[in-house]
Amino acid sequence: MNEKRILIIDNNSVDIEEASSILSGEGYQVMPVMDFTTAGGRLEDGGFDLILIDVTDSNADSFELCRVLKEDSRFREIPLIFTTSRPDCKELAMGFEVGGDDICYKALFLKGTTKKGKESSGSEIISYSTWQYRQDA
């Protein structure tokens, strides 16, 4: 089985380290970046199975990046999850409005609530506290 690749975009180095540690420990190849410019270069390299984007204080940039990615046929099918440390209904609504697939609260994610499983088809399921995505094997 090929290692699934996850791009993490977050400007908080502690959160990136914790998320990377959790996901790497679960067998995923993690590519952490701390800014949108670097993220753009990594995305051009391709091959990601999941994108996690932090809703930063400049969340307009996070939402705009999501909108751009979902309009681009190369990235449209990659599940995109917003991560946030602030439970905010406006953020939640905006995240879905721009094309995000879900929002994961960092407090849950960083406590290690990850799970992996297999479907009968052999496809991998990446599952977190509130979401799961089928990954083709």
CATH for 124: 3.40.50.2300
Give the confidence band of 121 by pLDDT, cuts at 50, 70, 90. very low
Global confidence as pTM:
0.77
Cβ distance 132 to 125 under 8 Å? Answer: yes
- How far, in Å, CA of 137 to CA of 135, rounded? 6
Q: Which residues contact 1 (CB under 8 A, 6 or more apart)?
A: 124, 137
pLDDT in tens, 42-96: 998 888 999 999 987 565 688 999 999 999 999 999 999 888 887 677 777 888 8
Name the domain count of the chain: 1
Q: What mean pLDDT is predicted for residues 94-119?
A: 68
Q: Which domain holds residue 84?
A: 5-135
H-helix segments, the chain: 13-25, 36-45, 59-71, 89-97, 106-109
